[in-house]
Amino acid sequence: MNGSVKTITEIVKNLNSAKLDPNVEVVIAPPSLYLLLTREHLRKGIEVAAQNAFDKPNGAFTGEISVEQLKDSNITWTLLGHSERRVVLQEDDSFVASKTRAALDGGLGVILCCGESLEQREANKTIEVVTAQLRAVADKVSDWSRIVIAYEPIWAIGTGKVATTEQAQEVHAAIRAWLKESISTQAADSTRILYGGSVSEKNSRDLAKQSDIDGFLVGGASLKPAFVDIINSNV
């Protein structure tokens, strides 16, 4: 919930003029009020995502935004299950899974977020929590070809704390192993797993070197010019 017409226009202008690694797929997710503004002015080759979508068709759901409305506005992706929606707005695993199914059925790509709290990590429940969040989606979705998983340790979001490269790689490897066991070998090989947790231009290169980290879900740093440096971190 950041930005204004002025600041988002400036971010778009910066991305439009930047030299970006052609091998990196870039998707940006402004607040819903600015989705059309962003899509209208953003150059081709960079996609736009909603920060959330509802699991029901258009109708009497005041305040929500439907998959059909997003598609109609040429928005091709949506974030779902972000930790702030799970924690602040109390969205449970089943609800996130329902929204994921609705988005996929409606033709959107999904950036599916998962992650654990500090208490859960300290109790050594990280893998248990993350795979439970993913399993809820697997119960309702069979095709994972348009899902990108984003692992975001809640304790490292906006805190300045960052999981070490080893900690991040360990969880990413566990997610890939879960995909192989629970979905398919193809899903494990082809699903991109992003890391999100205080990613900056200072740590992105080291994180990108890890074998199971395929990219980043960037929060506050995406509002700064250094976002371009993160994109070009040899991901």
**68 tagged catalytic:** no
What's the length of the chain? 235
Tell me the C-alpha distance between 55 and 106, whole Å: 10
- The C-alpha angle with vertex 77 and arms to 72 and 82, in degrees rounded to 5, equals 125
Q: Is the pLDDT of residue 235 over 90?
A: no
Q: How confident is the model at residue 161 (pLDDT cuts 50, 70, 90)?
A: confident
* pLDDT at residue 46, rounded to an integer: 98
State the pLDDT at residue 54. 98
Residue 152 appears among annotated catalytic residues:
yes
Q: Residue 26 and residue 11: Cα distance in Å, rounded?
A: 13
Which of the residues 91, 116, 152, 201 is marked catalytic?
152
Residue type, 46: I
Give the 3-state secondary structure of residue 191.
Answer: coil
Helix 126-138 to helix 93-105 angle (10° resolution) is 40
Confidence band (pLDDT; 50, 70, 90) for 37? very high
Element (H, E) at 135: helix 126-138
Block residue for tokens 């449970």: 92
- Over residues 89-111, the pLDDT tens digits come to 999 999 999 999 999 999 999 99
- pLDDT-derived band of residue 134, with 50, 70 and 90 as boundaries? very high
The predicted model scores a pTM of: 0.96
Cα separation, 177 vs 212, whole angstroms: 10
Domains of the chain: 5-231 (3.20.20.70)
Letter string b/e over residues 113-130, b meaning 16 or more CB atoms within 10 A of that residue's CB:
bbbbbeebbeeeebeebb
At 6, is the pLDDT very low, low, confident or very high (cuts 50, 70, 90)?
very high
